[in-house]
Amino acid sequence: MKIAFTMKGINLSGQEQVFQKPWFITFIMFFAMALSLVFDKSMYSKSNGMYESLIDEAPNGEPKMSWSKKVKMVSIPAVFDILATGLCSMGFLYIPASVWQLLRGAEMVFAALFAVIFLRRKLLAFHWLGVALCVSGIILVGLASVWGSGGGSDDGKGQDAKLLLLGMGLALGGQVVQAAQVIAEEWLLKEVDLPGLTIVGFEGVWGGLIMLFFAFPLLYFVPGDDNGHLEDELDSFAMLRSSVPLAAMILVYTFSCATYNMAGIAVTGALSAVHRVMLEAFRTSIVWIFGLTVHYCFDPASPFGEAWTPYSWMEVVGFFVLMLGQAVYGEMIHVPGLKYPEGLAKPEAMASPGALKNLASPLPPERTS
């Protein structure tokens, strides 16, 4: 995504322009999700008549929710996903990839708070400690990014602190909506016992349709800097036609999104909170190491590189504090003196896009007492 945002193409006016189209990238994500239906065996079974009825039966033999209604229910989380991905993509325009990756840890904080408010879940002391550590880590990352924004000015890559703050604000706003999506899926999709690929695929279908018929027209008619529009999608297609490398990068992004969702479905339930934190830490480290390597080993002026500033140590500390907070919250690390319930089952990740972005549920367990 970040690479595509730095590439250029010829727009409708015949001028070369940087491809900064966050909402078009959001649409591509939904298109990739919809491709999951091609690999969903249950869809072919239904079309071949192996399902006698579109009405599923409850254990007592009475009909509960129809298959068509379950599919329609998936449209509600799709709206959350549009807003979350769009906001995060807009934020990605202004902040380094490593900072954007670290700020994704804020979703757990907002999901925990929303679970208390809307799902009436109870957080214990170790949960609150984990949330506090995550908040502290995010603050350290944000301060390091803003204070170090002028540290790379010698290579022409110094960034405006206001734009960094805007980018971080948009990314955090996206995490708020993403957390709301997890809550909505927990509340709405409990009885939607469709296969995971079906849920992901139809959320992609609904998201794509909503963007085509509502979001894109709205973006076109709202005034902005993209040929007088907030985002001109006709211009997006013109730029793709004019640049083979840009079109190839969009295809790579489509492939990565599709395979990520299908791989997530395949391992859902097999991954614990330990796996989730380890994978998140590994992914963040790879992104950061890649940026540093590009800057110091290849091209200091590359938009893909990231310089080490006098405040980068704060970002490193924030990274470890954030990982520690997630480990405490997920009960991977037990803090002496704090109460931990015994025999309480951990919440399982739902086979839905909101949960798949975490590979494990960010919600606290549901307690009966």
- Region 50-57: mean pLDDT is 46
> Distance between CA 111 and CA 125 in Å, rounded?
16
What 8-state DSSP symbol labels residue 270? T
Token duo for residue 108: 């757990």
Q: At what angle do helices 75-92 and 161-188 cross, to 10 degrees?
A: 170
216-273: per-residue pLDDT in tens? Answer: 999 999 999 998 999 999 999 999 999 999 999 999 999 999 988 787 766 655 655 5
Top pLDDT among 139 and 277 is at: 139
Q: Is the pTM of this model over 0.75?
A: yes
CB 94 within 8 A of CB 164: yes
Whole-number Å distance between alpha carbons of 187 and 181: 10
Q: b/e per residue, 199-232, with b = 16+ CB within 10 A? A: bbbbbbbbbbebbeeebbeebbeeeeebeebebb
Least confident window among 10-14, 60-64, 174-178, 247-251: 60-64
Q: What is the mean pLDDT of residues 330-339?
A: 88
Q: For 239-250, what is each residue's pLDDT tens digit?
A: 999 999 999 999
In 3D, which of 280, 255, 269, 254 has the Cα closest to residue 352? 269
Q: Which of 186, 166, 173 is nearest to 110 (CA)?
A: 173
Average pLDDT over residues 21-47: 87
DSSP 113-159: HHHHHHS-----HHHHHHHHHHHHHHHHHHHHHHHTTTTTGGGT---
Which residue do the tokens 């807009």 mark?
90
